[in-house]
């Protein structure tokens, strides 16, 4: 009678195959779980960076800093502002540049770089780009002889808009001609939105405010110093 054969070559090979299948299955599932987590993290970083870029362009302190940059040309002061504001919001290395227009009166994009900064560790291989057009405007009330100091121009930089705290408003050049811009009146709220054209010239614009059509409340001035473009590259 032959001896029982337990430990055979077949058994060894079969065991190896089955163990290989188990290992491969585990590795694949773990790999996809890692990819899924990585995608969630990157998506969160990009969403946060997008809101940071938008907030940086919208906040009044950025406008003040840009006015100073245009007026004095001092990039060191603007750099300090960028590091303390944008740097506090972006968790990864980033790059920022400010372009201004060279040919006002046309709709061409700003193309003269007046400021550029790249934070340490920034890589050109992995980043998200954000473009924010801004109106550089001195927010201090600049009135003509009959302006109403209670009216205030608030610059909303997204899409180069400016808002006034009145439901209705109209905008004029210095010579009294109404500008061909789009003005969005707010019948339910209290702010009209002035969409400054990308072809606008850097000058004063007289803004008349109305509480309702035909009911004049006063006027103030929108002072356009420059139309700039902020380009932020946020590392991912």
Partner 1 sequence: MNNRGQIFTLDLLISLFIFLLLFTSVVLFLYSVADVNNPYSSYYSQVTSTYLNNVANQNADILSESIGSPANWPQYACGQISSIGLLQNTYELSPLKMYNLTTMSTKCLSQLLRAGGSFNVTTYYLNGSTVKIGNRPITAGFSIPQNQSYIASVSRYVVMYPGSTIIKITFTEWL
Residues of this chain that interact with partner 1 (CB under 8 A) are 1, 4-6, 10-11, 14-15, 18, 21-22, 25-26, 29-30, 32-33, 36-37, 40, 43-44, 47-48, 51-52, 54-56, 58-61, 84-85, 88-89, 154, 156, 158, 163, 189, 191, 193
* Shortest separation between residue 143's beta carbon and partner 1, angstroms: 20
* Shortest separation between residue 186's beta carbon and partner 1, angstroms: 9
Cβ neighbours of 70 (radius 10 Å): 18
Phi and psi based region of residue 23 (left: phi greater than 0; alpha: psi -120 to 50; beta: remaining)? alpha
Closer by beta carbon to partner 1, 45 or else 199: 45
* Shortest separation between residue 70's beta carbon and partner 1, angstroms: 19
Closer by beta carbon to partner 1, 44 or else 118: 44
The tokens of 194 are what?
A: 């002035």
Cα–Cα distances in angstroms (integers) from residue 186 to residues 37, 167, 194, 224, in the given order: 44, 5, 11, 23
Taking a C-beta distance cutoff of 8 angstroms, is the pair 192, 184 a contact? Answer: yes
Closer by beta carbon to partner 1, 155 or else 228: 155
Candidates 205, 62, 222, 192; CA nearest to 132 is 62
Closer by beta carbon to partner 1, 101 or else 193: 193
């Amino acid at each position: 009678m032959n001896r029982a054969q337990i430990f055979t070559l077949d058994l060894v090979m079969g065991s190896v195959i089955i163990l290989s299948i188990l290992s491969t299955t585990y590795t694949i599932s773990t790999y996809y779980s890692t990819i899924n987590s990585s995608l969630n993290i990157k998506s969160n970083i990009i969403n946060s960076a997008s809101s940071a870029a938008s907030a940086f362009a919208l906040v009044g302190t950025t406008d003040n800093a840009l006015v100073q940059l245009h007026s004095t040309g001092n990039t060191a002061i603007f750099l300090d502002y960028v590091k303390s504001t944008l740097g506090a919001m972006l968790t990864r290395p980033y790059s920022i540049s400010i372009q201004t227009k060279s040919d006002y009166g046309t709709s061409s994009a700003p193309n003269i770089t007046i400021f550029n900064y790249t934070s340490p560790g920034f890589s050109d291989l992995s980043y998200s780009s954000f473009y924010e057009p801004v109106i550089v405007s001195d927010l201090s009330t600049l009135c003509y002889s009959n302006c109403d100091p209670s009216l205030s121009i608030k610059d909303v930089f997204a899409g180069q808009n400016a808002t006034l705290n009145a439901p209705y408003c109209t905008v004029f050049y210095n010579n009294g001609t109404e500008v061909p811009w789009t003005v969005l009146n707010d019948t339910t709220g209290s702010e009209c939105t002035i969409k400054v054209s990308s072809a606008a010239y850097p000058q004063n614009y007289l803004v008349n405010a109305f509480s309702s059509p035909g009911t004049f409340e006063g006027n103030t001035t929108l002072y356009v110093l420059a139309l700039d473009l902020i380009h932020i590259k946020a590392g991912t």
